[in-house]
Structure 1
Amino acid sequence: MKQYVGVGMSVGVLAGIWTQVSIDLGLVTWVAFIAWACFFAAGGGATGFSKGLAANLSGVVYGWLVGTVAGAVPLPGVLAVAIAVAALGMCLQAGWAPLSFIPGAFAGTAAYFGTALNFWGTLAALIIGAALGWLSAVLGSRIQSVVSRRAVTKAAGEETRPAAA
């Protein structure tokens, strides 16, 4: 039995619920999916949650700093320089274990830019997405154990059944 059945089922159900709830509440639906993906990409579990979310949130701060500098300094090329410095910072921060998931920082910055600099909306959606990642992993594991147990029981029952004459 494939080990992704449980997580696939939990992600599918939770993704549908999140989409409807986020639309009803006016939350940024797609940003949560970024954090959700970062949870799994960073390894899942406690490590994926902490590294993915910390990196995502740091990325939002980098994006905010870039926007602030670019808005305050009316010189040609300031946006490019601010982006270059932020990109350097997002890579260098990986030397500190809690922020060592570089793609998460870039994802957080991109999400912030993609929401047209909606700081609080981006933060809320990233936090919710990380929580959904954790929840989908926990539920997925439980579903997988039920599915696997049934598959083993079914396979054992087929092996012990007398052959048809």
Structure 2
Amino acid sequence: MSTLLAIAITTGILSGIWGWVAISFGLLSWAGFLGCTSYFASPKDGVRGLLQSYATNLAGVFWAVVIISGSQYMSIEIFGYVLTGIVSFLMCIQAKKQWLSYIPGTFIGCCATFAANGDWQIVIPSLLLGGAFGYSMKASGLWLHKQSNIEKNGTQALMKEQTP
């Protein structure tokens, strides 16, 4: 079994489970899929990739709250746009810090917060659990791939032993 097929199988199964978990606990399923996507697209693998995805997603949530809150203090509409430009700059420049260097993760967290009308209290657990599901999808897919190859290689070795 190819790595892609194994990851596709586990992703399909766990995506269905995530949908049920999100609805059961009142989470945003779409935000969870953004957390999952953030992990899959992370430049780092494994736990480091998950942690970096978490750090940047949470930074993005923070920056969205800054924009939303800051925009409410001024009655001049242009101020919100200026603040968005300044914060977008900060979202990129924070990448000087290694753990915050995954800029798309920051924008994912920010956009998820905007899409949820600033309800960061529901966005955060949705993103975090979604990221954990993404990690689980890939890790279980890699495990399935390895197991299928062990079984395949064992069968081939057994067949060679039995051949006269």
Question: How many residues matched?
Answer: 163
TM-score using structure 1 length: 0.89
Gaps of 5+ in 1: none
2: CA distance, partners of 1:28 / 1:91? 26
**Counterpart residue number, 2:89:** 88
TM-score using structure 2 length: 0.90
**Counterpart residue number, 1:17:** 17
The worse-fitting range, judged by mean Cα deviation, of 125-134 and 99-108 is 125-134
Report percent identity of matched pairs.
Answer: 25
2: CA distance, partners of 1:10 / 1:84? 40
1: CA distance, partners of 2:131 / 2:72? 30
**Counterpart residue number, 1:33:** 33
2: CA distance, partners of 1:113 / 1:147? 43
Q: Residues 47-97 of structure 1: CA distance to partner in whole angstroms, max 9, x if unpaired?
A: 211111100000000000000011111113112111111110110000000
Q: Residues 2-46 of structure 1: CA distance to partner in whole angstroms, max 9, x if unpaired?
A: 212222222111110110121122210010111111112113302
SS for the counterpart of 1:77 is helix
Contact residue 3 and residue 141 of structure 2 kept, 8 A = no
Contact residue 44 and residue 137 of structure 1 kept, 8 A = no
**Counterpart residue number, 1:126:** 127
Report the alpha carbon displacement of residue 148 of structure 1 after superposing the two structures with TM. 1.8
2: CA distance, partners of 1:149 / 1:140? 14
Report the alpha carbon displacement of residue 158 of structure 1 after superposing the two structures with TM. 6.9
Q: Which amino acid aligns with 1:131?
A: A
Alignment RMSD (CA, Å): 1.9
